[in-house]
Copies of this chain bind each other. A is one copy, B any other.
Amino acid sequence: MIISKKDISSFDRIYRLKLINSLSGLKPANLIGSKSKDGISNLAIFSSVVHLGSDPALLGFILRPRTVERHTYQNIIDHDYYTINHVHPSFVKQAHLTSAKWEKSEFEECNLTEEYLAEFPVPFVAESKIKIGLKFAEKVDLKINDTALIIGYIEFIKFTDPDILLEDGDLDYDKANSVAVSGLNTYHEASEILKIAYARPIKDNSI
């Protein structure tokens, strides 16, 4: 089944939104925690967190400025800090509901628990097994469609279960049980099928 550029333009807006959002593959489901100037906590689900580099340790995410996500960005600018928290099956529904518009803090409205750790001025998600504290680094505007890449330095990591961190530095995702998302609203559990050594050319092609 083939879909051309012309087909894509001709699709109904919602159908295209669902199809194109589904195309990139399985995406990480992450909750970004932040706090407004007035002290109101904010929590929003993102599927666009991306690894940018390990030294310095950097993560990015894509911001669509015309949505509820703008609270997240304003808060990041105001406080300079934000948190990224993995989502697990036990609270995937609550996590998804943060994408709606709420009057009060999404923590309260969606039944998730604020957690403050070390000197971090913004909330982590207590229910999350992998919590990352970041300091805002840079906003890179993507003029092609008025989105932006928000880049932050990783300053703090907490694993609620120390067994998640393996001896070699990898994380055990079967233990963490972090969920993936496809499209806008379909969630998936993952199970490890293969851990391979660093790839080197092989001579006999016996893969």
Q: Are B157 and A23 in contact, CB atoms less than 8 angstroms apart?
A: yes
- Write the nearest CB–CB distance from A102 to chain B, whole angstroms: 6
The 4 closest A-B pairs by CB, nearest first: A25-B28, A18-B169, A20-B54, A188-B190
Determine how close the nearest CB of chain B comes to the CB of A184; give it in whole angstroms.
7
Q: How far is the CB of A86 from chain B (nearest CB, A)?
A: 6
Alpha-carbon distance between A26 and B189 when the two chains are bound, in angstroms: 10
Beyond A191-B189, A197-B185, whether A171 also contacts B99 by CB under 8 A is: no
A24-B30, A24-B49 known, 6 other contacts, Cβ within 8 Å: A16-B57, A18-B168, A97-B207, A140-B149, A185-B196, A189-B191
Task: Say whether A72 faces chain B, with CB atoms less than 8 Å apart.
Answer: no
Q: For residue A184, which residue of chain B has the nearest CB? A: B198
| Least distance between A195 CB and chain B CB atoms (Å) | 5
For A98, the closest partner residue in chain B by CB is: B199
Verify if A8 is at the interface (C-beta below 8 Å from B).
Answer: yes
A154 at the interface (CB under 8 A from B): yes
Chain B residue at minimal CB-CB distance from A1: B162
Q: Is the CB of A48 within 8 A of B48?
A: no
**This chain's copy number in the assembly:** 2
Nearest neighbor of A64 in chain B, beta-carbon distance: B53
Which residues from chain B contact A22 at a C-beta distance below 8 Å? 169-171
Chain B CB within 8 A of A180 CB: yes
Contact indicator per residue, chain A 67-109, by CB within 8 Å of chain B (1) or not (0): 0000000000000000010100100111011111111000001
**Which residues of the other chain, B, contact A142 by a CB distance below 8 angstroms?**
52, 140, 149, 151
12 A-B pairs whose Cβ atoms sit less than 8 Å apart in the complex: A2-B158, A17-B55, A27-B50, A52-B144, A52-B145, A53-B147, A92-B193, A101-B201, A102-B201, A170-B182, A180-B180, A187-B195
